[in-house]
Structure 1
């Protein structure tokens, strides 16, 4: 379901296997949380996380087939609500991780899969294949509060937010870059990952203190972090620069 490896200062979390849609069911959500816990425990000054995925999809969102397999409509809704609750701590983990984070989006990222990508500090995307897509309007589902807060926090233009949330636009990489959702786009999946590695190496070379980095991130997104239950705090690391 995932692999986690460390090369120098960079952790690589790769979603793998299954039907390659990497749908976020309770099992995959738990696996991602476990990987992020391991990354946090092993982090050192200058660590960086790169998250990517194998195959055609980065993540196609919540596992609606698993929800529907419950049988009744009520039971299916309960399962969706369960996934919404389980996924919230994953977003909180990423928003509080003590290191820079980069999503290398090498395939489609829809709904919760798009939120997973946006939970990173930097989003890089391939331009030859794949879209970003918040599908909730099309499937008849409102946005969880932390989804809405993420989009308010990370999509600066009101018009862009309208197109993403109230028009359910499927965004190719160039459109997502123009909207400020994606930082940069590349010709292929391999080029996207290579660019993420270059960025990761640049960030790692700064040797920032992870606790300071994570607290500054939280202070940038007060509404989102409030909904996620992440309180910010003042951190002062003694150094020769003070």
Structure 2
């Protein structure tokens, strides 16, 4: 269950261990979000959805190799063309929709830096566990001169209840450690090192699986809880049409 095509770089892997699925962003790079990486992640999630066991007592853990969970959008690639920016944005929105609508709990095991869109990728999971001794959650838009995307803020409001915490993250572009994240209600738990962080994600995943919830019911309830996020993401035929048009012109 691995996402790799002949002659192409392997960008992510998906494997199943017991009742847990592990989605891993591979390699030692920054895991910048561009259409290739996003497409690989969506393909992996599609294969997960098609697994007969995915709707019954399962959980997904997403993590990344190297020093970065994801350093955000691949801006060097995107800013050379408005169509590229549209394609990248619509692709990420579709990925967020896919994650939210999975029929199982999802856990981001953040063992490195998660910046801007990379932080949004982490927050698109139901739970976030984070490495204490390396890595920041960082909304970099103020520092690099970009306006925050509306759906980013809708997602942040759904996950961060304290307006002061949102102000710290967005308007001060604070580089938040795992301990900061726990204090602000962004991170569920902080751990020392990669192994301990992933182990905590596994422990949480196994505890959730042990509840033996119906995956379809879980997914439908999460859609209700995050209805505003799904509306802001705007996942519908129009979003896919924008992406298709952008792809055809590149």
**TM-score, normalized by length of structure 1?**
0.89
Where do 5+ consecutive residues of structure 2 fail to align? 1-10, 237-250
Question: What's the offset of the Cα at 1:145?
Answer: 2.2
Match of 2:31 in 1: 22
SS state at 1:14 partner:
strand
**TM-score, normalized by length of structure 2?**
0.86
Match of 1:41 in 2: 50
SS state at 1:5 partner:
strand
Task: State the distance in 2 between where 1:229 and 1:216 align.
Answer: 19
Task: State the distance in 2 between where 1:109 and 1:25 align.
Answer: 15
How many residue pairs get matched?
A: 224
Q: Which of 90, 110, 114 is 1:109 aligned to?
A: 114
Is the 1:218–1:230 contact (alpha carbons within 8 Å) kept by the matching residues of 2?
no
Matched, 1:5 2:15: yes
Match of 2:7 in 1: none
Task: State the distance in 2 between where 1:15 and 1:97 align.
Answer: 18
Match of 1:196 in 2: 201
Q: Which of 137, 146, 156 is 1:141 aligned to?
A: 146
Match of 1:205 in 2: 210
Task: State the distance in 2 between where 1:88 and 1:117 align.
Answer: 13
Deviations 1:187-207 (Å, cap 9, x if unpaired)? Answer: 111100001011111111111
Matched, 1:60 2:71: yes
Give the aligned CA root-mean-square deviation in angstroms.
1.4
Where do 5+ consecutive residues of structure 1 fail to align? 232-242
Matched, 1:82 2:87: yes
Deviations 1:107-156 (Å, cap 9, x if unpaired)? Answer: 00001100000000000000000000011121121122221110111110
